[in-house]
């Protein structure tokens, strides 16, 4: 692993970001809205305010908070899709915050994303086999035959038949499309998997199956997981630690069971009181007790 190379990294306590899989240091992101009147300053949305968080290799961290609290903005900064107004972001000890996109090719290999809306993130004109192989093609990993073998292996891993490779996204259910997204994310063998509300668009019963799959692959490949959800019951079943985000700030970070047992911040209590009943769909077993089955 390469240590932080940027001069700014020298101000960070020695070794700390390198030891963490993900490290956020006092990260801010402000958006300026266009000026609507000459008499008023342009509105500034402070979407992320001073977030600091270290995530250890192999740890599973959930980020929860209501809509508009800054979760997606934080993930985009983590994935190098956006640049912080100030602060530092490291993945596997390497700086992300001050790098132009062309210098972040390594990041696509280390970290992969699964989005909420599988239809929006899967190209409808591409066959599933091409979709899953896309990160491998983009990063020139493997020969054509090796990629084809890897696609078969990945489809099997996520509970889809090998023939799925020749079909198109619209031929699958929502849950199956999210399995395809997971297979694609796993293709370049990333160390960090990031999900932005990956099960929020799915029916409750399917949600549990896809969450179980996430749990299995994170476990099986020893991945670090950053899982964003507005729904506390989703992160409860797969995360070791939960960070509660409110209006751009992390108001509480605690081990999952502790957070549920003894929430410290009033906002966490409020969120817990409004948890929907996903727990019923998941049953009382931890997810690794239930092998995930193909949906529907």
Interaction site with ligand ADP (CB under 6 A): 31, 45, 47, 65, 67-73
Q: CA-CA distance, 147 to 40, in Å (whole number)?
A: 56
- Tell me how far, at minimum, the Cβ of 240 lies from Mg ion, in Å: 22
Instruction: State which residue, 72 or 292, has the beta carbon closest to ligand ADP.
Output: 72
Residue whose Cβ sits closest to Mg ion: 72
- Tell me how far, at minimum, the Cβ of 46 lies from ligand ADP, in Å: 8
- For residue 112, give every residue at least 6 positions away whose Cβ sits within 8 Å of its Cβ, in sequence order, or none: 135, 184, 185, 186, 187, 188, 190, 192, 193, 194
Instruction: State which residue, 115 or 172, has the beta carbon closest to ligand ADP.
Output: 115
- Tell me how far, at minimum, the Cβ of 10 lies from ligand ADP, in Å: 30
Residues facing residue 193 across a β-bridge: 112, 225
Instruction: State which residue, 68 or 142, has the beta carbon closest to ligand ADP.
Output: 68
- Give the SS3 label for residue 215: helix
Q: CA-CA distance, 60 to 42, in Å (whole number)?
A: 38
In the list ligand ADP, Mg ion, none, the entry touching 65 (Cβ below 5 to 8 angstroms by class) is ligand ADP
- Tell me how far, at minimum, the Cβ of 71 lies from ligand ADP, in Å: 3
User: Could you tell me how far CA 216 lies from the centroid of its own chain?
Assistant: 15
- For residue 30, give every residue at least 6 positions away whose Cβ sits within 8 Å of its Cβ, in sequence order, or none: 44, 45, 46, 47, 85
Instruction: State which residue, 31 or 260, has the beta carbon closest to ligand ADP.
Output: 31
In the list ligand ADP, Mg ion, none, the entry touching 141 (Cβ below 5 to 8 angstroms by class) is none
- Give DSSP secondary structure letters for 166-214: GS-GGGS-HHHHHHHHHHHHHTT--SEEEEESTTTTS-HHHHHHHHHHH
Instruction: State which residue, 72 or 178, has the beta carbon closest to Mg ion.
Output: 72
Instruction: State which residue, 196 or 216, has the beta carbon closest to ligand ADP.
Output: 196
- Tell me how far, at minimum, the Cβ of 62 lies from ligand ADP, in Å: 13
- Give the SS3 label for residue 296: coil
Q: Which residues bind Mg ion (CB under 5 A)?
A: 71-72
In the list ligand ADP, Mg ion, none, the entry touching 69 (Cβ below 5 to 8 angstroms by class) is ligand ADP
Q: CA-CA distance, 284 to 270, in Å (whole number)?
A: 23
Contact between 163 and 169 (Cβ < 8 Å): no
């Amino acid at each position: 692993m390469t240590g932080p190379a940027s001069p700014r990294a020298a101000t960070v306590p020695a070794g700390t970001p390198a030891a963490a899989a993900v490290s956020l240091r006092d990260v801010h992101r402000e958006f300026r809205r266009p000026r609507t009147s000459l008499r008023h300053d342009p509105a500034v949305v402070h979407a992320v305010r001073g977030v600091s968080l270290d995530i250890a290799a192999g740890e599973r961290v959930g980020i929860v908070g209501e809509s508009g609290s800054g979760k997606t903005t934080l993930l985009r900064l983590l994935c190098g899709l956006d640049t912080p107004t100030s602060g530092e972001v490291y993945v596997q000890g390497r700086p992300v915050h001050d790098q132009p996109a062309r210098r972040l090719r390594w990041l696509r290999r280390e970290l992969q994303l699964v989005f909420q809306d599988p239809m929006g993130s899967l190209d409808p004109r591409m066959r599933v086999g091409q979709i899953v192989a896309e990160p491998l093609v983009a990063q020139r990993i493997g020969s054509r035959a090796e990629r084809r073998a890897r696609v078969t292996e990945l489809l099997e891993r996520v509970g889809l038949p090998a023939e799925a490779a020749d079909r198109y996204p619209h031929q699958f259910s929502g849950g199956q499309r999210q399995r395809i997204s997971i297979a694609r994310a796993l293709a370049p063998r990333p160390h960090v998997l990031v999900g932005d509300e990956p099960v929020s668009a799915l029916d409750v019963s399917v949600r549990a199956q896809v969450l179980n799959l996430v749990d299995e692959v994170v476990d099986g490949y020893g991945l670090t997981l950053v899982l964003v959800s507005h729904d506390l019951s989703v992160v409860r079943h797969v995360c070791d630690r939960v960070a509660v985000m409110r209006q751009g700030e992390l108001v509480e970070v605690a081990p999952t069971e502790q957070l549920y047992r003894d929430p410290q911040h009033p906002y966490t209590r409020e969120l817990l009181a409004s948890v929907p009943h996903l727990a019923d769909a998941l049953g009382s077993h931890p997810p690794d007790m239930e092998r995930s089955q193909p949906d529907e």
